[in-house]
Chains A and B, each alone.
Chain A
Amino acid sequence: MRVGRNFAPSTLHSFVRSRLRTLVLLVVLGLCTAVPSCGPGERGEDPREVKVLVIGMDGLDPILLEQLMAEDRLPNFSRLAALGDYSPFGTSMPPQSPVAWSNFISGARPGTHQIFDWIHRKPNPSSALPILPYMSTSEALPPEHPDRVWDFGKWRIPLESGRVENRRRGDAFWNHLVKAGITTTIYRVPANYPPATESPGPGEFKVHSGMGTPDLLGTQGEFTCFRENMSVPDESVAGGRFVRLDVENDRTIAELEGPENYLLDVPAGQQPSKMKVELEIVRDPVQDAITVAVGDEKRLLKVGEWSDWIPIVFETGLPGSTVVNAVGLPTKMHSIIRLHVEQVHPYLDIYVSPLQIDPANPANPISYPLEWSAELAALTGTGGMYTTGIPEDTKALRSRPRGKTLDGERMTTALDEDGFLEMVHLLVAERTRQYHYALQNFRTGFLYFYFGHTDQLAHIFYRDMDPAHPGRKPEQQGKYDDVIYQTYEEMDARLGEAYEVMDENDILIVMSDHGFASFRRGFNVNNWLVENGYMAVKDMGRQGRRNGLLNVKYDQTRVYAVGLNCLYINLQGREKHGIVPPEEKRRLMEEVAAQLEQVRDEDGSKAIEKVYFTFDDYPNADPLVAPDMMIGYTRNYRGSWATALGGIGRGLFEDNKDRWSGDHCISANLVPGIIVSNMRLTVDDPELSDLGPAILQLFGIEPPEGMVSRNIFGEKVPLRGR
């Protein structure tokens, strides 16, 4: 398979058009004759003097980029494209961020790095579960000897700590730069948590983890919304929790839940107790303002205001810590939070960000060197920084509680669109300060800087620029239509800033991991499997998303789905309750694929472009990890919300009314990313896995075995030759 090579007709057309435009511009500018003839490996430059900057802009889409360049809204992108080269950039199949970025990091395809989806499954878990879903990029491993504990009183002290393992296999390409003595700095490349704990070589090396980094609870980010106007004491929603505030005389104590107290013994039949931090909140009886006190910290906040970062400490309460420290376990866990005052009168309403791992006292390493996270946080001027892997809190915008207000009305989400955008602007301000610092201190070697809000804003605001989206709200028409375009313009400004600090002979590359499409309709894969006799479930009426995988009758199921694109054969000898003999697997896959590719929506639209056979395309894929098949949806479709964890939906297709209205988990050839550089491209079909090895060659390093070997870069055009 050559995924990412066959662009959609509209994309292909604009791609060719763009390349022609680039050529025309080169002729007009007289640059064709000004191009030096030297190619990679022939420059005779000292590799230690080479300077390569890669700016990763997650989800930047070629169709949108080309449209905005044609409208002269992206002068810096247009300038770089005219100077060097521009192309859509082939992504991974499936085009999910952890898979795509792993292609970039490892300079190889999924058969090498073994990341195939956000969610993988264990086919034969040791627990009673039939199969076990898990986050693909990292895994928290328990101590090797969990029974080695020291019991005294109510305490149960583990004498060994667990660890977190990065599940991406294969070497990161930048390791070979560091081994060659090249200064290498990596800001938050996704799918790289936990980061390295030691330098791979003599070169100066810094890395900060990005997407995949959990919050202090070990989740992808759990907000807390303290709300006076709710009738039930608390309610958990996807990605967060609502807690009622009982206010007396304008004063209340809000209990913020932290991680489980892992040093306390848990009697049989009881839930582990959680560590808590108390926030004392006092409301001004007249003004729209509150004071919040936590520990030694105190803040005065007006309605609508965001706090700076507030440090908090979760204490285990263990008296004396000598023994615990001796085995390397903390007796307290540090976090930082940011508050947003939604409302003061008549009811208090306060949003608390997910518990960020404190960059100054990280409970788990998030950078190498360890202290680098604290240095980066100090740059923001706000007392901290977002450290969770996807800090844009889309769940606070989307997860609406089922409970009622005190007046019997339906409750609102924790943040509305404006609050969410403010949060993203705060985040981008932090990242931009760090970006400027990175540029100013970039002397030599390789620098990678990542912007992720480009992706998250496209997920949320796609429907505002798609008139045919079923979730579009008339009352919001016009209000957020330009959010995504403005984000592209901001990125253009960041690119312009890079120009200013780069020298004539430096190399500047902007790239994205995938593009974007509208997500109008969700396909209920599990419904389809049941209707076509490939899966049996205990209860078709169990329409919901919890424990869907336990609703499956595995002894009567031949195919099941886990994750956003992946299908698995319930294979004898591999799955715990496998029923399909290995000799029947291929025929079954071909039958399922042929039927899926014929699926039509109610209006006759084709929903699935292609079903990919993983082991045909990636022969080295690990059979205990990789899916057997991957569904490549057409634009406007995606696996439904219920699908990823085995849920049953209402019918085969559902309108997507969610705020999460754009997506890219479709067929890879339909959502390429972009690459723009002052390096000329030697191929018409560059793809993510090409880039790392090509960067190695810019420094005179031959890509090692296992990485792709072709070099996509040709001539270098001087940056000042514009």
Chain B
Amino acid sequence: MSAVKIKIDKALYERLKAVSDKAGYSSADEFITNVLEKELAKLEDAETDEQLEERLRGLGYIE
């Protein structure tokens, strides 16, 4: 998997690291990726009718 580096404040990173441990993530990186994916999904879904698309995606014929 190709990756890019993103700079964040060190204090913020420490807080993220502490919380990610408690939340059961294996690393702060995994926690950040997961949070970003969720937020991104929310923003992308805000463009369309998420429920409608989900209803369609339950069909075996589409993915």
Contacts and interface: CB of A to CB of B under 8 A. Distances in A.
Contacts of B61: 96, 118, 564, 644, 660, 663, 665
B60 A456 contact: yes
Contacts of A231: 24-26, 30
A7 B22 CA distance: 63
Interface in A395-409: 395, 398, 403-404, 406, 408
Interface string B13-37: 0000000000111100010001000
B45 to A, nearest CB: 8
B26 A408 contact: yes
Contact of A118 (B25, B30, B59): B59
A100 B58 CA distance: 20
A550 B62 CA distance: 17
Interface stretch (A130-138, A304-312, A507-515): A130-138
Interface stretch (A232-240, A411-419, A618-626): A232-240
Interface string B36-56: 000001001101110111111
A641 B63 contact: yes
Contact of B58 (A132, A221, A403): A221
Contacts of A135: 55-56
A208 to B, nearest CB: 20
A112 B4 CA distance: 55
A220 B55 CA distance: 6
A197 interface: no
A663 B60 CA distance: 11
Contact of A550 (B26, B34, B48, B57): B48
A76 interface: no
A37 interface: no
A406 B26 contact: yes
Contact of A645 (B24, B30, B58, B62): B62
Contact of B63 (A403, A456, A550, A658): A658
Contacts of B45: 546-547
B53 A546 contact: yes
B60 A645 contact: no
B53 A233 contact: no
A214 B55 CA distance: 9
B52 A134 contact: yes
A644 B30 CA distance: 32
Interface residues of A, number: 46
Nearest to A125: B49
A635 B26 CA distance: 46
A459 interface: yes
Interface residues of B, number: 25
A489 interface: no
Nearest to B23: A233
B61 to A, nearest CB: 6
A130 to B, nearest CB: 10
A645 B53 contact: yes
Contacts of B57: 238-239, 545
B58 A239 contact: yes
A222 B45 CA distance: 18
Interface string A631-650: 00000000001101100000
Contact of B60 (A222, A395, A550): A395
Contacts of B26: 231, 404, 406, 408
Nearest to A390: B60
Given A233-B24, A238-B63, A547 B44 contact: yes
A239 B63 CA distance: 9
A219 B47 contact: no
A91 to B, nearest CB: 16
A658 B63 CA distance: 10
B42 to A, nearest CB: 9
B33 to A, nearest CB: 9
Nearest to A664: B61
Interface in A87-146: 96, 118-119, 127, 129, 132-135
Contacts of A642: 63
A492 interface: no
A246 interface: yes
Given A231-B30, A658-B63, A246 B24 contact: yes
A459 B52 CA distance: 24
A133 B54 contact: no
Contact of A232 (B34, B55, B58, B63): B34
Given A395-B58, A641-B63, A132 B49 contact: yes
B59 A220 contact: yes
A238 B55 CA distance: 10
Given A220-B55, A645-B53, A547 B47 contact: yes
Contacts of B34: 232-233, 403
A133 B56 contact: yes
B9 to A, nearest CB: 24
B51 A218 contact: yes
Contacts of A395: 58, 60
A486 B30 CA distance: 45
A218 B55 contact: yes
A417 B60 CA distance: 15
Interface in A510-569: 545-547, 549-550, 564
Contacts of B60: 239, 390, 394-395, 398, 456, 459, 660
Contacts of A545: 57, 62-63
A220 B58 contact: yes
A557 to B, nearest CB: 17
Contacts of A19: none
A251 interface: no
Contacts of B52: 132-134
A244 B24 contact: yes
A18 B1 CA distance: 54
Contacts of B55: 135, 214, 218-220
Contacts of B62: 118-119, 545, 564, 641, 644-645
Nearest to B52: A134
Nearest to A223: B58
Nearest to A388: B58
A718 B54 CA distance: 50
A546 B48 CA distance: 10
A127 B51 CA distance: 15
Contacts of A406: 26
A119 B52 CA distance: 11
Contacts of A244: 24
Contacts of A246: 24
B62 to A, nearest CB: 4
Contacts of B56: 118-119, 133-135, 220, 644-645
Given A127-B49, A641-B63, 7 more contacts: A218-B51, A238-B63, A398-B60, A404-B26, A545-B57, A546-B41, A549-B48
18 contacts: A118-B61, A132-B49, A135-B55, A220-B59, A232-B25, A233-B24, A238-B58, A244-B24, A406-B26, A456-B60, A459-B60, A545-B62, A546-B44, A550-B47, A564-B62, A642-B63, A645-B56, A665-B61
Q: Closest 3 interchain pairs by CB?
A: A220-B58, A644-B62, A641-B63
